[in-house]
Structure 1
Amino acid sequence: MKRLIIALIAGIIGTATITMAQPNDAPQNGSAQSATAVFAGGCFWCMEADFEKLDGVGDVVSGYAGGVMENPTYERHGRHLEVVQVPYDPSVISYRELADYFFRHIDPLDEKGQFCDRGHAYTTGLFYSTTEEYDAAKAAKIDAENVLNESVVTPLIELQKFWKAEGYHQNYYKTNPIRYKLYRTSCGRDRRVKQLWGSH
């Protein structure tokens, strides 16, 4: 669906190009980030928008992880997933809190993609780099299963490398708010999340 939206937009605007996001390394919410976490929750534009609402989280970066291809791109990503790298201040928010938040903003019961986006690249994954992160991720997954009373298919994946996505994907929800809103609404993401999680 996201590829279709991009193609439709390109057709509508003719020779105009999608707005390129400018790099922004400044932390948000006045916090100093000293740790990062990586999550795959389908469309990385939506994950950026969701995580950047949190206190203690800085400028979230869209990218690719989980595959073996070197220098993946949006068009050629091998077995990589669309992911976000979340910089955060552990004195404000913990990895476990981020993991809990992550589960409540995806459909962890869908093993074939997320919402209208289908295929391996859009499947979910919770990445960890340390034993402590693995334990926290596992606890968050068990909690999600208990709340939903169903088996969660989201795998826990050891992070090997994060690859930053192309510039036009960064901060897309800010630089292209109308196109982003059209995509998010038409994809049914928020409706499905509310159906699954309600007020949890």
Structure 2
Amino acid sequence: MSENGSAGANSTRSAIFGAGCFWGVESAFRKVPGVIDAPVGYSGGSVADPSYEQVCSGRTGHAEVVEVEYDPEKVSYDELLDVFWSLHDPTQKNRQGPDVGTQYRSAIFYQDEDQLRSAEASKERAQSALRKSIATEITAAGPFYRAEEYHQRYFEKKGIASCPV
């Protein structure tokens, strides 16, 4: 993929979202028609190639994220943003359900100016429907570090339907 999330004309694009524990986020995005892949990993921090244990320490600055690879002819970035907002409580700072820490923060990592504009507009729309202030950060994407293989498709491997939140 290129820096802007594009692999070329009429090809796939990518989007990076953090919405708490990445297993549930991955599972939900994989069900969206037009999503090709949704590997889990880490982004937004300062440590190269972090391990799960390092990210859980809260000292890397990384969030648990999903890099959604999608076909823009079948699903738009705006539709993915709608899914993102529906998956979690964006008013919680550095937590989702029982998971607490900066690695569980709500975050959109944009890859180009179009994604930035769409993310900001979607945040405004989401905020208009909520009483509490949204804590979601919208930040330029840095490197995405794929999580260890045992985290990929975790629910499928364990036969779990969803997070017990």
Which sits farther off after the overlay, 70-79 or 166-175?
70-79
1:165 aligned partner: 147
Confirm or deny that 1:51 pairs with 2:29.
yes
Deviations 1:120-173 (A, max 9, x none): 111110110111000000011001101113321101010011000000000001
Aligned length, in residue pairs = 152
More relative contact order, 1 or 2 (CA 8 Å, 6+ apart):
2
Residues 33 and 57 of structure 1 are in contact (CA less than 8 Å); yes or no, is this contact kept in structure 2? no
Report deviation, 1:33.
5.8
Deviations 1:173-197 (A, max 9, x none): 111124x64xx12xx2xxxxxxxxx
2:61 aligned partner: 79
Distance 2:114 2:54 in 1: 33
1:144 aligned partner: 126
Larger-Rg structure: 1
SS in 2 for 1:86: strand
Deviations 1:37-79 (A, max 9, x none): 0000111100011101111001210000000101111001211
2:75 aligned partner: 93
Higher strand share: 2
**Any stretches of 5+ residues in structure 1 without a counterpart?**
1-31, 189-200
Confirm or deny that 1:115 pairs with 2:97.
yes
SS in 2 for 1:100: helix
1:158-197 equivalent positions in 2, closer than 5 A: 158-178=140-160, 181=162, 184-185=163-164, 188=165
What's the TM-score, normalizing by structure 2? Answer: 0.88
What is the CA RMSD across the aligned residues, in angstroms? Answer: 1.4
Q: Indicate the percent of aligned positions where both proteins have the same amino acid.
A: 37
Higher helix share: 1
Distance 1:132 1:59 in 2: 21
**Any stretches of 5+ residues in structure 2 without a counterpart?**
1-9
Distance 1:86 1:104 in 2: 16
Deviations 1:74-124 (A, max 9, x none): 001211000000000001111111112101111100003111100111111
Distance 2:43 2:94 in 1: 17
